[in-house]
Every structure is written in C-alpha cells, then in structure tokens.
Structure 1
C-alpha cells in the first residue's frame, strides 16, 4: 500500500508544479496596465525647439535692499505683500547718537554765525568814546610837553636850564607825539571795524560748520532705508533689535515691481547657436503644464554665466554655462509668484543666422 501511495503522490506533485508553472508563465506574459503620471510632462509646442529652465521675477528684477550704514534696527515699517511707492520708508536704524551729534553741529553753526555777526557789527558804538578820549588826552599831554619844551628853550638862552634838562624835555615831546600817533591809530582801527580777512575767515567757518551739519543730517536720513522704486515688498528678513552691517550678510528687504512679471530663461551654452532673439516662445508652469504662458522677448544679457538655477534632472550638469534671456509674460491673468520655476520653449525653426528686426546683441566674427 505504501508503494501505491508513493506512485500516486509523486505524479500528483509533478502535475501541480506543472500547473503552477503554466499559470506563472501566462501571468508573466500579460501586459502590465500603464499608469498615468500624476502630472503630465511639459511638451514643446514647436517642431524645432530650444528649451531652457526659467524663473519668474519682477519687472525691475528682484531688488535686494541693503543698509547704507551699520546699526541696530529700531523699526520695520513695511510688511510682506505691501505695495510701496518710491521713497517710502522701509525700516529705520538707531539714530540717537547721530541726533546728539546733530545738536552739537547746530550749536557750532550758531557760534560761527554769532562770531561773524560780531565782526560785521564792529565797531561797537560804546567803544568809540573811550578811544577818542584817550586820543584827546594824548594830544593834550603832547601840547603840555611842547609848551614845557619851548619854555625850557627860552630859559636855556638865559642859562637858567641845564643842557640835560633841555634834552630830556625834547625827548618827552617826541614820546608825547608817539603816544598821540598810537592813540590815533588805535582810534582809526577801532572806527574802521573788523578786518576784511577776519570776516572771510569767519564766513568760511560758518560754511564749514554748515557743511558738517548737513553731513550729519544726511547721515540721519541714511539711517532710514527707503524704497528705490515703486513696487511690492516680496520678502522681509529683518526684525527690530537685529544688527545689520554694511554691506549686510543677506537681503534685508526684497522689493520688485510685479505689475508686469518677467521670466529669466537659462539657455544652455550648447543651444546658444540655435537661439534666435525675438522668436516665438512659450512656457509652462512646474506642476501645471496645462497652463501655457505666452512670452514676449525683452532682451538678452550678453554675458554667459555659470548655471545656478537647477532643475533636478539626473543628467543635468552643474558646471555648464548659460545665456540668460529675459521675456515678459503676456497673459498676466493667471496666478504667478516671483521665484516660481517654469519650463520655457523657444522656436528654433529658422536658422540661427537669421536676425530679426532689432538685431541680436551677440557679435559676429
């Protein structure tokens, strides 16, 4: 009986394995159901295309606002998304030290003006009578000395006065004359007022202090950072109490005019010979290739730079160089954000040697 069971089990097992092998082969040959990707890849709208990755930016480009001077931020006056006009204050730095210096400069200007006013008002009316009295006194003293000297001369003829006394009185007359001359010169100098060069020096001092005052005022104005253009605040990276250097380590405020958005397209250096400025171009958003963006050529930045905007493709080289081309987005009704990446396609159907109206900025050799 054992032999009978063995004869039945072995063929049954072989038959089961055969059936399993047949089923496996049949299933393996069944074509797999193709699954659709969650997002359709972008498709070039032109038969001959120059493709490149692009990034959305403001019409004025993304302006990284810095600080003119280093200091501690005391107040941030704008918020992200706020529209500002040219000259609108963005943030302020601590200005207490500058304001104290301003008061010193204002005092210096007042002192210099007062000195100039004093020189221009000379002579003082109350200073003239004392000087004139000294002159009259010197003249009266001279008259007395002359009278004494003449009397001595007459007495000398009668030998009533010694020769020494006569010489002494003569010298007294000369000293009196010098005193009169000195008093008259002092009176004339006082009456003439201040000297012209002294006024010029005082005027220059006034201008010097005014310039120093204006310099401090400008430094105080520079402590308030303002918007250089009309636009929208895209990013704020500074808070009250933070110290900012000059130049700062990062963009403190990012500003740009987003009324008309631009796309900066990077064209690989190997595709530059096929690129034609002014050719029709179109872009699709990353994540939504169904949204087509019509691009209008603006300009070419004719300096080939190392590639910075990476797409993440495994075959992408990071040591390549790219030509940056600026396009404006014609259909502005869609929702776009500055910094958003797009896939750009440029029509390269015509020969690269054909130059449209306006010409290419490149140089032919």
Structure 2
C-alpha cells in the first residue's frame, strides 16, 4: 500500500508539510493521518459591530473637522461641522415668529381643558429648548476636551444633564398627547403659534443636519475630508469611518463543501501573517444562510477564485494586536464546541 503524498501548503506566509491534499480553492483537506483541523478558510478581521461609513445629509462646505483617526468618540458627539450661516439666519427668523405668535396668543385668556392644553404645549416647547441648549453645552465641552482644555468630569456631567433633559421632553410630550385626546379645537391664534413652532422645528432640523455626529460609541478609523471642502450626501468615499473596537471578529469565507462539518459555537484558531507563530482563539458566532462567490484569497493562493463560499463569523476571545482589515486564516477544530 503506497504512502500518502506529502504536499507543501503555504498558509499566512508559513510553509507547512503535512499529509494533506489541496482542494480546488487551495484550502487543505485533511488526510486520514491529520485529524487536527476540520477545515481552513481565509478571512479578514473586522469589528463585531460592523464598520460604519458616515456622510453628510446635505450639501455644504466643511467648516470644522473635529476628530482624527484613532480618536475615541461617544454616541452623539459632533465629528464634522458644515458652514451654517444661512441656516442659522433662518432659525433666528423662525424663532422671532414663534415669540410674536406666542405674545399674540397670550393676550387671549382661556380656561378649563383649553388652558391645560396651552400649558402642556408650552411645557413641550420649553423642554425642546432645554434639550437644544444642553446639547450645545455637551458639544462645547467635548470640543474643549479634545483640545485638552476641558475635563472628563465636565463632559460626564453635561451628558447626564442632556439625558435628563431628553427624559423630561419625553414626559412632557406624553402628557400633551393625553390632553389633546379630549381637548376642544384650537383657536386661530393657537393654530398660528403651532404653525410658527412647526416652522421653527423645520429650521432647527435643517441646522442640525449640518453637524455629522457619531451614531455609536467607537473609534475613528479613517478621516477623508478637510475643512474648506465641498461635500455632498453621496461622496465618492465616506467622510469618516468608525467602529466599536471593543470586540473584534473575523469574517471567514468557508468553502461550501466544508459547511456541513462546521457548527455555531465551534472553537477555532486564527493566524495572521503579521504575527508568525502566534495563535489567536475564537468561536464561531454565526453561519450565513447564503452561498456566494468568494472574494478573498484562499490560503496558499495569490489569486481570487470563483469557488462558492459561505461567510462564517468568528468572535475572537483574545484579539491582542490584530487590526481591522487584516487578513487572517481560520482553522476549524474537530468536535470543539463551547457552551455559553
């Protein structure tokens, strides 16, 4: 009986001599003598939360870029600010109209449920103004902290105040909804004030769109814009990219012929060419219910192939120095399932 042929397979920059056969994709298929790995798949490291690409909601000229690559940001923090001269003027005009309409309305007194509704609407308007004012304070304190002229405790206090203001606004809005169910129709002056407040809200929303804010707590990965540039909602590349790097994953492309042997919660070993001789541990977190053409280079190959694959997400248990976007090879172990 002849002995199995020895094949040299290059994986992540290493050459491994084993009693294996290569598949059409260059991925090792374990020979009977090699029971350590069930399958091997190429992959890339990424944030488990996904990578977020940001653009502006409107066209405008960049006034300030408030962050740089590798900065840690919090949800709601301003990242880019566009020039707002025209929009600020519109907001000021709308605010003046609200003040005039409110003065005219207050000259006519009302009683009963109509008076209760009037007070509830005023309370909502005041709560909205409070949210705007406190958010401006949070933005200012965050900018000062980035310039190293502020303190962490000042930002913490400002964010807590914003949370309280938003909770108060929600409470006032619920109270108003309850009152409006049984209240009489508004008077002409009340209707005019409501229209003025709606126009103010539109102007405020337009102004707010000139500030690009962080949608999550995370780290800025890339900044592709500078002050003075004209930007639009559909740029050729995102203005910023950010991600939550507190948890890293590997998105692996597993040959469809190996999918039946891989299970969720199965343990794996991850190796990267950047760290020869280092093993990183992980667990299969999900298996996509879709077979598609592969995009990554398979281990031991320099060219992309048209072999169909299934995307498998690997949650790293100890990412160490691995970086998002880094290529890695995932080794699936036989029968290693964790219960968690």
Match of 1:92 among 75, 81, 94: 81
Q: Is the 8 A contact 1:280 1:346 kept in 2?
A: yes
Deviation at 1:48, TM superposition (A): 4.2
Deviation at 1:345, TM superposition (A): 1.0
In structure 2, the CA distance between the partners of 1:240 and 1:282, relative to structure 1 (3 Å rule), is same
In structure 2, the CA distance between the partners of 1:76 and 1:326, relative to structure 1 (3 Å rule), is same
**Structure with greater helix percent:** 1
In the alignment, structure 1 residue 298 sits paired with structure 2 residue 250: no
Q: 2-side partners of 1:211 and 1:232: how far apart?
A: 36
Q: Which residue of structure 2 lines up, in the alignment, with residue 342 of structure 1? A: 328
Decide which structure has the larger Cα Rg and report it: 1
Q: What's the Cα RMSD here?
A: 3.2
In structure 2, the CA distance between the partners of 1:326 and 1:312, relative to structure 1 (3 Å rule), is closer
Q: Is the 8 A contact 2:12 2:329 kept in 1?
A: no
Match of 2:310 among 317, 320, 323: 323
- The SS at the match of 2:187 is helix
Q: 1-side partners of 2:326 and 2:210: how far apart?
A: 33
**Structure with greater strand percent:** 2
Deviation at 1:320, TM superposition (A): 3.6
Task: In structure 2, list runs of 5 or more residues that go unmatched.
Answer: 1-9, 18-27, 29-33, 111-183
Q: Which residue of structure 1 lines up, in the alignment, with residue 95 of structure 2? A: 106
In structure 2, the CA distance between the partners of 1:349 and 1:213, relative to structure 1 (3 Å rule), is same
Q: 2-side partners of 1:349 and 1:260: how far apart?
A: 25
Match of 1:272 among 259, 262, 287: 259
Q: 1-side partners of 2:35 and 2:224: how far apart?
A: 42
How many residue pairs align between the two structures? 243
Q: Is the 8 A contact 2:42 2:299 kept in 1?
A: no
TM-score, normalised on structure 1?
0.59
Deviation at 1:310, TM superposition (A): 3.2
Q: 1-side partners of 2:233 and 2:300: how far apart?
A: 38
Q: 1-side partners of 2:77 and 2:283: how far apart?
A: 31
TM-score, normalised on structure 2?
0.63
Deviation at 1:209, TM superposition (A): 0.8
Superposition map of 1:50-65 within 5 A:
50-65=39-54
In the alignment, structure 1 residue 211 sits paired with structure 2 residue 185: no
Task: In structure 1, list runs of 5 or more residues that go unmatched.
Answer: 1-35, 122-196, 359-365
Q: 2-side partners of 1:120 and 1:200: how far apart?
A: 11
Deviation at 1:291, TM superposition (A): 0.8
Deviation at 1:314, TM superposition (A): 5.1
